[in-house]
Structure 1
Amino acid sequence: MVSEGKHPVVTGLRIKGEQEIGESKKNMEEIASPAQLQYSGLAVFKKDKLIGWLNEEESKAYNYVVDHVKSTVGVFACPEGGKFALEVIRSKTEVKGKLESGNPRIDVNVRTEVNVGEVECKIDLTKTKSIEELEKVAEQKAREFIEQTIHHVQKKYKVDIFGFGEVIHRSEPKYWEKAKDDWDQIFVNLPVHVNVDGKIRHLGTVSNSFLEEMKKKE
């Protein structure tokens, strides 16, 4: 709340079940509690005022940008139909800021290492080309949902929750002194370029889908 160039977010909690029973001692005495708490997105603040919420996918995109992702699983569409799952085992994000023709620009570079968790499509995992295809699909989807979330926050909430202002403050301190009071207005039209570099490191115990094995026998 007190930092320059970044507005706060707070993890949301939702009561699932019967709230009145959940407030009683009885709720703690049962194995299957009638009321439970579950995480539910991120609350977006403008200084100390709640102005909206990010859903689950948007919250994941936010965590990628601010480099808070430790491990997660994503499901993607295969190039020729079907789905596959990837488990992120490492993620690192670098956010850089600079001026172009006197105007600020942000570059978000995300690097991930993933394992293939599940494959339900016709693709040969023994071929390097197939692995590269999966990497490209995952990179494109990750880039798109991160870009969409940033754009959504820019246009709907108009507050910099990602800390891009802090990045510009560090990289261009002279510009920041002139722009800091108007940063929220600048943020709305701030060019943000997202790059995702994802590498599949292990297949784990996953082998070719039975669909691919059937195809080989035809």
Structure 2
Amino acid sequence: MTYTGDVTRGGEPAVRELTGLTVCKVSVGPTDNNAYLLTCRADGTQVLIDAANDAETLLELIGPAGLTAVVTTHSHGDHTAALAAVVQATGASSIAGADDAPAIPVVTRTVTDGDTITVGDCTLEVIHVVGHTPGSIVLLYREPDGIAHLWTGDSLFPGGVGNTRGNKKNFTSLINDVESKLFGRLGDDTWFYPGHGKDSTLGAERPHLAEWRARGW
């Protein structure tokens, strides 16, 4: 089946085969959070992005291959509800942005801008994006001879940046970081996978950056 990124809680995962990585996207929890299982196609190493909720669902997705790490994109409770259970069941390390780590249930490694996380022989680059939370991180994977992929947590969605709850300073920080560190570095074919809802590309969203900045949310 062609990957669309459309998932519903209790439904089948959406699976996408990239060069080097397999991506499995599922929806969990009462707020339909997205969780992403990344599997190295060379050696089967697995990393989970956001153990958001429904630990049983996530553990079934992980399966007998086990889990090397859970990466948490930011500290909000709807993205961490299953973290402790998944870490306990799998023995995985728990990785999070340094500035959010104190508010996350369990963290064994902190990362910041420019750090890397390995998934077997694949590498994710950490991009620190400040505004939705102080330590929000985005993960970048560049397919060899292919396109870039971003896991953006709640920092970027189709239609706008993440919620900054009316805080103008946080909004300005977030829109500046998203514009410079994501749109300013990466091409229009870059695919991004957000913390809730549908995926999109930077090309589809780029024409609206000025509109987002003007509206202030």
TM-score, normalised with respect to structure 1 = 0.28
Q: Which has the higher strand share?
A: 1
Q: Give the TM-score normalised by the residue count of structure 2.
A: 0.28
The structure with the larger Rg is 1
- Of structures 1 and 2, the one scoring higher in RCO (CA 8 A, sep 6+) is 1
Identify the structure with the greater helix proportion: 1
